[in-house]
């Protein structure tokens, strides 16, 4: 369902709606401690959005941290069973450096994780839930989908050095075709091959348009099996979700941890991604786990602009009363609630508050003031 102007704030409504969506699809609520041993984050700093972590010494001398990430903590506490399979979601606060002011901020993050034997259906389900999560944020939203395994195939075909591979990924993510062409030329890649690769990784649009084009551009250059997995995932989406999905190979998350299907979600009016996720089997292996994983997170801090728009008014209607009986006030409140989704009742005009409509109940007679 689309978020509506209920009496709860926009963020609260979104959290409840996301929770209902995930539970409806069989995901269990995962609760966790605010604290984790600092060593977990120190060993995986390049996985974190920010490498600054709030630390303190516990009473027993252990160095603990306020969690800057949820996924790492969940993985650490998973069962060791080889047959482990879990579908979890969470609403948790994380603690990170905020913007350029280098101060820490408490940030709400909602997400889900799927662990175990990840097959095409699992991937399709998570992509669908990511798209449906975006629709709960805004009807004007898109989900950009990629496959890092295809990027790996392209990189293997180029025989680039480690630093050149990093530059290729950075420039692809930035959609900087000029410097990307210079990089490939400097690495001795033939001009025709370089042009085809650059066009492939910079092509953006619907799957019906982009996938045939990429298949043609990369034929003979890279193994196209990862492209076929993208096709399979797209074919498994319902029509409404497919309309939201675009293919975008500039979605290139850290390949030290991520593999396969990755995606980012955007809504109109917010300049950065509000959702990101994908497969992270490499992270699982790094942490000594023998099963696969896919998931995503919704970043509530990126939605401040939308929250502000949704919170333009403190309530739809304000009811002021003077010289009235309690029964008359109650009756007026019920009448207003039948017409407006949020009603505030006060005996005097509040300062610094905004309302769509203001009503006065005086001597049991109701009238609108604006």
The domains located in the chain, with CATH, are 1-139+268-312 (3.30.930.10), 141-250 (no CATH), 316-368 (no CATH)
> Hunting for tokens 């509040």 — which residue is that?
350
From the CB of residue 229, how many other CB atoms can be counted at a distance below 10 Å?
17
Q: What is residue 321's three-state secondary structure?
A: strand
Exposure b/e, 354-369, CB count within 10 A at least 16 = b: ebbbebbbeeeebeee
Q: Which residues are 266's β-sheet partners?
A: 142
Q: And the tokens for 27?
A: 């995901």
Per-residue pLDDT at 310:
52
Which DSSP symbol is given to 361? E
Per-residue pLDDT at 3:
35
Q: How many helices (H) and strands (E) does the chain have?
A: 14, 16
Per-residue pLDDT at 6:
36
From the CB of residue 327, how many other CB atoms can be counted at a distance below 10 Å?
9
* C-alpha gyration radius of the chain: 25
**Residue spans of alpha helices (H) in 26-66:** 38-42
48 phi, psi to nearest 5 deg = -80, 150
d(CA 227, CA 215): 8
Per-residue pLDDT at 47:
72
**Residue spans of alpha helices (H) in the chain:** 10-24, 38-42, 71-76, 120-137, 148-158, 162-174, 177-186, 191-202, 207-218, 225-236, 239-242, 281-286, 304-310, 326-337
Mention every residue, 6+ apart, whose C-beta is less than 8 A from residue 80: none
Report mean pLDDT in 10-residue bins for the chain, 370 residues.
43 87 94 77 71 76 79 81 81 72 75 93 96 92 95 91 91 93 94 95 94 94 93 94 94 84 92 92 88 92 63 81 92 91 89 87 88
Q: What is residue 123's three-state secondary structure?
A: helix
């Amino acid at each position: 369902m689309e978020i509506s102007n209920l009496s709860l704030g926009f963020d609260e409504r979104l959290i409840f709606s996301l929770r209902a969506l995930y539970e409806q699809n069989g995901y269990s609520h995962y609760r966790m401690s605010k604290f984790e041993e600092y060593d977990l984050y120190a060993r995986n700093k390049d996985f974190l959005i920010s490498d600054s972590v709030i630390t303190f010494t516990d009473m027993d001398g252990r160095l603990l941290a306020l969690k800057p990430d949820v996924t790492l903590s969940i993985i650490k506490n998973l069962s060791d069973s080889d047959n482990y399979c879990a579908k979890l979601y969470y609403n948790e606060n994380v603690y990170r450096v905020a913007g350029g002011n280098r101060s820490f901020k408490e940030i709400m993050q909602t997400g889900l994780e799927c662990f175990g034997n990840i097959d095409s259906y699992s991937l399709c389900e998570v992509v669908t839930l990511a798209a449906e999560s975006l629709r709960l944020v805004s009807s004007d939203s898109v989900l950009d989908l990629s496959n890092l395994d295809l990027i790996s195939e392209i990189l293997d075909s180029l025989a680039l050095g480690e630093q050149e591979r990093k530059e290729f990924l950075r420039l692809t993510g930035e959609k900087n075709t000029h410097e990307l062409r210079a990089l490939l030329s400097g690495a001795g890649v033939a001009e025709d091959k370089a042009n085809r690769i650059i066009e492939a990784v910079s092509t953006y649009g619907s799957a019906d348009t982009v996938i045939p084009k990429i298949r043609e551009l990369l034929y003979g250059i890279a193994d196209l099996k990862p492209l076929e997995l993208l096709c399979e995932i797209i074919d498994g989406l319902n029509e409404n979700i497919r309309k939201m999905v675009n293919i975008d190979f500039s979605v290139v998350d850290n390949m030290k941890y991520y593999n396969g299907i990755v995606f980012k979600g955007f809504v109109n009016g917010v300049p950065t991604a509000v959702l990101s996720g994908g497969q992270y089997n490499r992270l699982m292996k790094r942490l000594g786990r023998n099963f696969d994983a896919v998931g995503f997170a919704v970043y509530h801090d990126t939605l401040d602009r939308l929250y502000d728009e949704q919170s333009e008014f403190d309530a739809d209607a304000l009811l002021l009363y003077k010289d009235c009986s309690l029964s008359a006030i109650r009756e007026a409140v019920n009448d207003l609630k039948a017409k407006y989704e949020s009603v505030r009742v006060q005996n005097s005009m509040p300062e610094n508050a905004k309302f769509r409509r203001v009503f006065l109940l005086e001597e049991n007679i109701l009238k609108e003031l604006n």
